[in-house]
Copies of this chain bind each other. A is one copy, B any other.
């Protein structure tokens, strides 16, 4: 199927979907979840082939971890679809409702965006979850996954489509994942795609930004910092650093760089290596002097998303030093502070420019589920339209409704 055909089908389905009731959408989502469960063995088999190919190409362990879709993960994908079916329908929600002195009633309501293009890399669960979130919010989706996962993605999309009723079946479309050309087609598809969401590394985001003619909300890398203030409790700081770095090093809300106030460095740093088992530490001169086994960081270790058991560390001159470092090296994703000083916490919250600012907790909480939003399509690092975890509300737009009885101006 050409991209133009696929776009036309998606648009047709989006029109039908915009009129669908909540019940119709939820029934379809549950049927899709059941079809994924029923087809789990076949999906896992296709995933095995994708994984074997990836291993043969000697890709990183983190990449393989993202690619694997085994029986428990398939069951979890199906469960996510059921969760999305249970979630409130964002469409039709009234954002404002007021009467004007001239008797006009003015409402602002949520409506679907239309057709969403999703461009992502290895993780195949995104295929089903992005479909389900877009669908519940009344949008068709054109998915362009990674070529590494193409068999898995096709198997998931087939299962979903087999469960959708006729007018909505085209609400999920797979774009060709074998060439960059399909990315270019998507980001230039004015009138075909209403919003493109790229989720991936620097090269992908740059390619999309330079070529896009349709609106883009970026899901860019997370170069997340944790700043340990002079007033911090050292045990708490170490526990948060350990969790943020090691609970899942391959994800975007994992810690990449620890900043330590000079005034607390001598108490905290000697204990750091013990708290972070099997983790390489690359630090500044002061860090190397205080952390047994630490290596000297290169300048490009700051601002880097390792996605691995590696942590950059720097001793800084108090809060101002931390704010300067974050302004220079942060990616606007998640920034955290450990402090007992309310004034420093307040300044950190106000002055750090990031999608999520965390005080006295792990960076790993920057996640739709953890923040109470339910499932998310990713974490937006753009400033426009939405920022942070993109749940159902973020996949809608608005419409103004004005009701009168003959008013003129």
Chain A residues within CB distance 8 Å of chain B: 19, 98, 100, 104, 106, 108, 111, 113-114, 190, 194-195, 209-210, 212-213, 215-217, 233, 236, 239-240, 242-244, 247, 345, 349-351, 353-362, 364-366, 370-372, 382-389, 397-409
**Residues of chain B lying within 8 A (CB to CB) of residue A388:** 108, 398-400
Partner of A195, one of B213, B349, B383: B383
**Residues of chain B lying within 8 A (CB to CB) of residue A383:** 113-114, 194-195, 215, 397
Query: Shortest CB–CB separation between residue A333 and chain B, in angstroms?
Result: 11
**Residues of chain B lying within 8 A (CB to CB) of residue A243:** 408-409
**Residues of chain B lying within 8 A (CB to CB) of residue A361:** 104, 402-408
Partner of A404, one of B215, B360, B404, B406: B360
Distance in angstroms between the alpha carbons of A186 and B146 in the assembled complex:
33
**Residues of chain B lying within 8 A (CB to CB) of residue A233:** 406
B356→A100 contact, CB < 8 A: no
**Residues of chain B lying within 8 A (CB to CB) of residue A212:** 212-213
Residue of B nearest to A382 (CB): B215
Query: Shortest CB–CB separation between residue A28 and chain B, in angstroms?
Result: 20
With A194-B384, A371-B100: A360-B106 Cβ-Cβ less than 8 Å = no
With A243-B409, A398-B386, A408-B243: A359-B403 Cβ-Cβ less than 8 Å = yes
How many copies of the chain does the oligomer comprise? 2
A402→B194 contact, CB < 8 A: no
Residue of B nearest to A109 (CB): B349
**Residues of chain B lying within 8 A (CB to CB) of residue A389:** 400
Given contacts A387-B398, A388-B398, 18 further A-B contacts (CB under 8 A): A19-B350, A19-B351, A106-B371, A194-B384, A215-B216, A215-B382, A215-B384, A243-B409, A349-B401, A354-B399, A356-B402, A359-B403, A360-B407, A364-B409, A365-B404, A365-B407, A387-B400, A389-B400
A366→B402 contact, CB < 8 A: yes
Distance in angstroms between the alpha carbons of A359 and B401 in the assembled complex:
8
Query: Shortest CB–CB separation between residue A88 and chain B, in angstroms?
Result: 14
Residue of B nearest to A103 (CB): B361
Interface of A, helix, strand, loop or mixed by DSSP: mixed
Distance in angstroms between the alpha carbons of A364 and B106 in the assembled complex:
14
With A359-B404, A362-B407, A402-B365: A384-B195 Cβ-Cβ less than 8 Å = yes
Residue of B nearest to A113 (CB): B383
Distance in angstroms between the alpha carbons of A215 and B382 in the assembled complex:
9
Distance in angstroms between the alpha carbons of A355 and B398 in the assembled complex:
7
**Residues of chain B lying within 8 A (CB to CB) of residue A408:** 239-240, 242-244, 247, 361-362, 364
A247→B385 contact, CB < 8 A: no
Query: Shortest CB–CB separation between residue A353 and chain B, in angstroms?
Result: 8
Query: Shortest CB–CB separation between residue A223 and chain B, in angstroms?
Result: 16
Partner of A98, one of B217, B247, B372, B399: B372
Residue of B nearest to A386 (CB): B398
Distance in angstroms between the alpha carbons of A318 and B208 in the assembled complex:
44
Distance in angstroms between the alpha carbons of A113 and B384 in the assembled complex:
8
Distance in angstroms between the alpha carbons of A215 and B386 in the assembled complex:
12
Partner of A362, one of B111, B216, B362, B409: B409
Distance in angstroms between the alpha carbons of A2 and B408 in the assembled complex:
47
B195→A400 contact, CB < 8 A: no
B406→A360 contact, CB < 8 A: yes
B213→A209 contact, CB < 8 A: yes
With A402-B359, A409-B247: A213-B210 Cβ-Cβ less than 8 Å = yes
Query: Shortest CB–CB separation between residue A253 and chain B, in angstroms?
Result: 9
Query: Shortest CB–CB separation between residue A320 and chain B, in angstroms?
Result: 14
Query: Shortest CB–CB separation between residue A265 and chain B, in angstroms?
Result: 20
Distance in angstroms between the alpha carbons of A11 and B361 in the assembled complex:
31
A217→B384 contact, CB < 8 A: yes
**Residues of chain B lying within 8 A (CB to CB) of residue A399:** 354-357, 387-388
